[in-house]
Amino acid sequence: MIATWRDFPDGTDDECDIAVIGTGAAGGAIGKVLTDAGLDVVFVEEGPPIDHLRAGRSVAEASRHIFRDGGTQVSMGRSFIPVLQGRCVGGSTAINSAICWRIPDDAYDRAFARFGLADALPLADLHRQYDVIERDLDVHAVSEAALGRNNALMRAGAEKLGWTGQVTRRNETDCEGSGRCIQSCTGGRKRSVDVTYIPHAIEHGARVYATCRAEGFVTARKRVTGVHGHFWDPDTGKAGGAMTVRARRGVVVAASAVQTPILLGTLPIDGHAHLGEHFRAHPGTGVAGVYDETVRPWLGATQGFEVTHFRDHGIKLEALCIGPELGSVRLAGIGASFMEGLAEFDHLAVWVVAARAEAEGRVRGRPGHAAAISYTPSAGDLRKVRSGMRSLAELHFAAGARWVQPGIHGLPARLGRDDLGRIDDAPLDARAYSLVATHLFGTARMAPDSTAGVVGTDFQVHGLRGLFVVDSSLFPTNLGVNPQHTIMAVAMLAGERIAQASA
């Protein structure tokens, strides 16, 4: 069952084996493993169960309903960078593009083995979990029928230039190419955890307390024995009844690289010097191409083609189907000139670059309040972004674009093929770019001891028993590829270990 604030006006006390905070990629995946092992699980989720009719109505309604802070969460640094996260049953799996990447060997070495985690997170075990996830969530390459012109043009450009790329592998069943993954998939085709692992866990006895904010932990000496918080009405912000869940075998935190350190910050922990530190992301931005043909960039699998030619350089290029509700913000002009841009929006193709950034940021905050994320990409990171933008522009022209719109402050709004060199001269200043930070990592990193991290190799927080972290906050750094698949695989591995220890 999924209960909300309406079901418990006077609050509730519950008891279970394991309480899981968060129902996104990590929470959903570990919930499946724990319930399969016969454990009694309660999920605590800050966001609401998804009303698909409401989320499907418009991007604005979806952002109000299922995005953290209504889609306005930003990091503060040298520039404001949107940090998009889902806040609903299903977490960010409900709003992402469903991309599933097994961690490549080089990324595994860089992100896990180099930090001494090869024994804690063996690559072979991750691949065993990937196999399970791919079967459960129907992971496969986007079909030709669902590709749409925005993705197909990127493929055409890559083929012409001889750049390595492929149709994206995603968790969906018979995608109809509506381009509305961000609205939790209006066609109901995405196999996000709200329609897969969470219902599976519920069938096996789990309860979900949605619209319920975890605010702290129940502790006894050095052991965490439960979680407490309050229900709330996300449409009005009004607080509801109190919630306490006592967990006989422990509490799992799977609340994201932003919320997890904030929750852990309510406890005195041994690795506190690293808590909220080492925040990493894959900052990126888009370049639109203007074509003679009608493209309709809002149609097609949301991200159906990717160019991996520059992955060794920390740069990944992806097509992104996006509508004018969000995509036209980047168009130049005010008044009649802005409207001219809107009028040709159906002739744009929109592609993005994501960079494996080196910069580290920081997360601070209190449960129930907007997080304070401090993050500024370095000059080296911006060099990657800029180089990726140049490559995107070349791709557009190879695919037949008339113009490209780089959206870099100080450059003309439109560049022709002969002007591409101007992108190379763009300033290495975050304020010149319209960056978005996706894929968040590292604010409660795993390390063998508390001098180097927050979480031990047994997934327990250093210095406490019964408190586990299983989301991407434990990743010591960013992966350089889309992380959803690895977040799920790591959480499943953690679930197996916790279940074995509980047996």
Partner 1 sequence: MRLWAWERRRAAEIFDGMLPPGANGRFFLGAREAGVVEFFEAHLGFMPARTRWAMRAAVDVVGAYASVHRDGARGALQALARSPIYAMREVVTLLKQVVCMGYFSDLRVRDELGLDRPLERPA
Binding stretches for partner 1 (CB under 8 A): 58-60, 63-64, 69-70, 72, 79-80, 144-146, 148, 176-179, 235, 296, 298-300, 323-326, 328-329, 334-336, 338-340, 342-343, 345-346, 370, 409, 431, 434
Cα gap 41→439, rounded to integer Å: 27
Contact 284, 355 (CB under 8 A): yes
Which two three-digit tokens encode residue 145?
Answer: 């029928």
**Minimal distance, residue 452 CB to partner 1, in Å:** 34
Q: How far is the CB of 284 from partner 1 (least distance, A)?
A: 17
Q: Which two tokens stand for residue 85?
A: 């996260």
CB closer to partner 1 out of 31 and 341? 341
Toward partner 1, which CB reaches closer, 36 or 176?
176
Q: Decide whether 71 or 456 has the Cβ nearer to partner 1.
A: 71
Q: How far is the CB of 343 from partner 1 (least distance, A)?
A: 4
Q: Are 154 and 319 within 8 A, CB to CB?
A: yes
Contact 241, 11 (CB under 8 A): yes
The residue among 244 and 434 lying less far from partner 1, judged by its C-beta, is 434
What is the nearest approach in angstroms of partner 1 to the Cβ of residue 182? 12
Nearer to partner 1, 20 or 83 (CB): 83
Find the shortest distance in angstroms from Cβ 139 to partner 1.
Answer: 21
Nearer to partner 1, 300 or 361 (CB): 300
Angle, CA 479 vertex, CA 21 and CA 254 arms, to 5°:
5
Pick 60 or 118: Cβ nearer partner 1:
60
Can you read off the two tokens belonging to residue 465? Answer: 């028993």
3-state DSSP assignment of residue 118: coil
Alpha carbon 17 to its chain centroid, in Å, reads: 28
Min. distance of Cβ 146 from partner 1 in angstroms?
7
Residue 174, class by beta-carbon neighbours within 10 Å (0-12 exposed, 13-18 middle, 19+ buried)?
exposed
CB of 346 to partner 1, least distance (A): 6
State in angstroms the smallest separation of the CB of 231 from partner 1: 18
Cβ distance to partner 1 smaller for residue 179 or 265: 179
Cβ proximity to partner 1: between 151 and 460 the closer is: 151
Among 471, 95, 482, which Cα is nearest to 262's? Answer: 471
Find out whether 168 and 101 touch, Cβ atoms under 8 Å: no
Q: Which is nearer to partner 1, 60 or 220 (CB)?
A: 60
With the C-alpha atoms ordered 457, 462, 463, 467, is the resulting torsion angle positive or negative?
Answer: negative
Distance CA 496, CA 130 (A): 14
Residues 6+ apart with CB under 8 A from 204: 35, 36
Residue 364 buriedness (CB in 10 A; 0-12 / 13-18 / 19+) = middle
In the complex, minimum distance from the CB of residue 181 to partner 1, in angstroms, rounded to a whole number: 13
What are the CA-CA distances from residue 108 to residues 116, 117, 208, 449, 475 (Å)? 11, 10, 33, 21, 11
Burial readout 387-420 (b: 16 or more C-beta within 10 A, e: otherwise): bbbbbbbbbbbbbebebbbbbbeebeeebeeeeb
Contact in structure between 495 and 34 (CB atoms under 8 Å): yes
Residue 159 in 3-state DSSP? helix
Residue closer to partner 1 (CB basis): 237 or 421: 237
Residues 6 or more apart in contact with residue 33 via CB below 8 angstroms: 491, 492, 495, 496, 499
Nearest approach, Cβ of residue 174 and partner 1 (Å): 11
Q: Which residue has the tokens 């450059």?
A: 411
- Min dist CB 69 to partner 1, Å, is 5
